[in-house]
Structure 1
Amino acid sequence: MIKEWKRDIEARRDETRNYLISGEDTLEVRDDEIQIEVVGAEIPTSPIKTKATRVLPVTATNLVLFPTKQDIVKQFTLNTQQKYAFMIITSHLDGENHAYTGTIDNQLLMCIPGCGGTGKSQLIRAITNPIVCIAQDYIQGKTVDDLRLRQAILELPDNKTEHLPGYLPLVPGMPVLLTENVATELGLSNGTRGIFRQLVYNESPEDVRYQDKNFPLNTKFITQPKYALVEFPGCKLDNKLAELQSKIVPIAISEQTFLFDAKELLPANVAKAAKINKKTTKLTVKRKALPLIPAYSMTTHKSQGQTLGKIIVDLVMPPGPIELASVYVSLSRVKRLDDLLIIRPFEFGTLQVKPSTAQIEELKRLDKIAQ
């Protein structure tokens, strides 16, 4: 089904592009180019609700869903009191609570008394049962088997891996950023904000064997994701895709290649010998992963061109020259001053950065063209 969705998105993208260029709202599609592969299954439109909608998945894949609340209660064998607390907390997180009014979700304060051994830790594990997608990395066409090398590559920041993260924590309803251009004409481009709704993946023996000290012991690792269903409220898909709700877009696995310097992992004498003999210690890595990153926070660069609801800004700049845009961009993402919070004191000089000579020359050039 992911292939059919992809064709549909590409067709709509081309139709929009043709309309922008020629003004003609038409697109010819050959019948022999349309291929539909179908395997029946059911995917809940929400991982919290049990009501299911019929969805056609990709072929030859085991469809595994996010567990419902009742599934989690059974998995962690919560007793009656634990279940009550679990349902109250998760319902609050889902917006299904009496304190929720309009767009304001008031804070939930809950005290769970009891000495050690009364099951509080089990309740915490049930509530904070994280799911993390692991990128698949290949060197010379083979998976990375060396544990130290694999860990080092996975822990690279996404700005060094062509914006494909090694670890992608996922929680239904969390904000995410798209990190590649899917269909810019439809508002699905690098930096577009969305809301993660659902994940479709294959179960693998690696999921069980994988452990990482950076995550809790009860973390569920996914090593073979197929695609993520993401809601993009601002996208220009006038009609919903087949069997999906409005504004829901399937984001498939992306593939990128980047370099990794393994010098730090080599013994000192080997690294020195490589330098003397002018041998490179850089490895070419091919990564397959979902082109998404969590968007609870973002850099100034990623926020360019976006209008945000409410933001918290840090104006304490890192060492080095201060760019004029780094201040202006962060402060101009909201429409009202009331929606802006500056997190800590900063040097007033940060607001007095003058444009560089190159910037002034560019402004003069643009003014000359405009005349």
Structure 2
Amino acid sequence: MLVGTNFIRELLNNSKAKSSCTGELIYCAARDTIDGVEPTLNERKHLLSLNLADFSSEGALPGLIPLFVGMPVILRNRNISTELGITNGSQGIVRKVFTEPCANNYSVAKCVIVEFPDSSVDLPGLPPHCFPLTPTTWKFTTVLSDDKGSKRNVHISRLQLNLQPAFAITGHAAQGKTLPQVLVDLAEGGFAAYVSASRAQTREGLFVTNPVTLEALNKPVTSYLRQECRRLERLEHNTKIHYGFETGNIMAPLDPEGEAETEPLDPKNIAPEPRPVSAPDPLPL
């Protein structure tokens, strides 16, 4: 299923992992250290429960990953081998999970054998298309509170698998892929709806969760986006003239913090661009 946010993706993946597992469901915990020191039990629980779904840092690793043999997974934020076809976004199937206990009675992953059907990998001792994945390190900063309520910034080093369940993925992660079956809500319209719908290989493979109208699909561009496009066009125009790539007059820059129209305007009613003015000194880029 294609969804709009990482938060919804995680909720659906965790729920589907529980409902689909017929054997042992293994929760692989991250191995965290705080400024190089093992965390206490309470600190570890807090770190594992952090919601990192929308974390701005590239390569964020979750605290807990549910896995079971036969589960579909996606390799995230890691390119192992382009020649073998094992790169960021590659889809696979879990074939074996190796874990070990840590100090606070959590299970941490040592290695996961994943079958990548589209890969040409063939390693001795493993079935064709199978590759062993081990945890990688990700570092981030967060805030912890002690028993007295005092807060402090800490540096966390996290060791975790670069895997996520593949029951649900975001439209952003699905860009460039074609899928045999796609379940999606197109009501948000715009470019996101186009990306989601065009992932399906066939019309019969596209399943829409809610009714959708042409009006919703063809939402007009917001006035704020139009304002920003005009500002960037002027910036491009002024830059080319300033560095001699084009000739002409410098145009007065638009204020990026200025107010834009609150309602979409009919193009016929949009006022024409103001006439260019002479270049001020210094150049207003």
Q: What TM-score bracket applies, with the shorter chain setting the length? A: 0.5 to 0.7
Corresponding residue of 2:3: none
Q: 1:252 to 1:352 in 2, by over 3 A?
A: same
- Which structure shows the higher helix fraction? 1
Partner of 1:197: 95
1:77-129 deviation digits (Å, cap 9, x = unpaired): xxxxxxxxxxxxxxxx89xxxxxxxxxxxxxxxxxxxxxxxxxxxxxxxx554
Deviation at 1:299, TM superposition (A): 0.9
Q: Give 5+ residue unaligned stretches, structure 2.
A: 1-19, 237-285
Partner residue in 2 for 1:175: 72
**Residue aligning to 2:141:** 259
Structure 2 residue matching 1:301: 3-state secondary structure: helix
Q: Following superposition of structure 1 onto structure 2, how do residues 96-175 of structure 1 map, counting pairs within 5 Å? A: 127=22, 129-147=24-42, 149-155=43-49, 156-160=51-55, 162-175=59-72
- Aligned CA RMSD, in angstroms, stands at 3.0
The structure with the largest strand share of the pair is 2
Query: What is the CA-CA distance between 1:236 and the residue it aligns to?
Result: 3.8
The structure-2 alpha-carbon separation of the partners of 1:158 and 1:287, relative to structure 1 and needing over 3 Å to count, comes to farther
* 8 Å Cα contact 1:158-1:164 kept in structure 2: no
Distance 1:359 1:325 in 2: 16
Is this contact kept in 1: 2:98–2:110, CA < 8 A?
Answer: yes
Give the letter aligned to residue 48 of structure 2. L
- Aligned positions of 1:192-271 closer than 5 A: 192-202=90-100, 204=101, 206=103, 210=105, 222-223=107-108, 225-237=109-121, 240-262=122-144, 265=145, 270=150
Contact 2:139 2:156 in 1 (8 A): yes
What displacement does 1:258 show? 1.5
Aligned residue pairs total 206
Distance 1:173 1:129, change over 3 A: closer
Pairwise CA distance, 1:158: 4.5
Q: Aligned residue for 1:186?
A: 84
**Distance across 2 between alignment mates of 1:205 and 1:141:** 16
SS at match of 2:46: helix
**Where in structure 1 are there 5+ consecutive unaligned residues?**
1-92, 95-126, 211-220, 272-280, 366-371
Percentage identity across paired residues of the two chains: 29
Correspondence 1:342 to 2:208:
yes
Question: Conserved in 2, the CA contact under 8 Å of 1:311 and 1:340?
Answer: yes
Partner of 2:256: none
One-letter amino acid of the structure 2 residue matched with residue 139 of structure 1: I
Hey, what's the Cα distance between the residues in 2 that align with 1:316 and 1:259?
A: 37
Q: What SS does the aligned partner of 2:169 have?
A: coil
Structure 1: distance between partners of 2:47 and 2:192: 29
1:296 correspondence with 2:178: no
Distance 1:268 1:328 in 2: 51
1:233 maps to amino acid? P
Q: Deviations over 1:245-284 (max 9, x none)?
A: 111011111111112233xx4689745xxxxxxxxx4322
How far does residue 328 in structure 1 lie from its aligned partner after superposition? 1.5
Give the 3 Å change call, closer, same or farther, for CA 336–289 of structure 1 in structure 2.
Answer: same
TM-aligned CA distance change 1:353 to 1:183, over 3 Å? farther
Separation (CA, whole Å) in 2 of partners of 1:145 and 1:255: 20
Check 1:347–1:259 CA distance in 2 against 1; reply closer, same or farther (3 A cut).
farther
What SS is found at the alignment partner of 1:153?
helix
- Aligned CA distance change for structure 1 residues 282 and 329 (closer, same or farther; 3 Å): farther
Contact 1:136–1:288 under 8 Å retained in 2? yes
Q: Distance in 2 between matches of 1:244 and 1:164?
A: 27
Q: Residues 129 and 187 from structure 1, CA distance in 2 versus in 1: closer, same or farther, beyond 3 angstroms?
A: closer
TM-score, normalised to structure 1's length? Answer: 0.49
Q: Which residue in 2 is equivalent to 1:331?
A: 197
AA aligned opposite 1:222: S
Amino acid at match of 2:186: L
| One-letter amino acid of the counterpart of residue 73, structure 2 | V
Asked if the contact 1:327–1:350 (Cα under 8 Å) also holds between the matched residues in 2, the reply is no
Whether the 8 Å contact between 2:35 and 2:154 is mirrored in structure 1 is no
> Which residue in the other structure is 1:75 paired with?
none
1:168 shift after superposition:
1.1
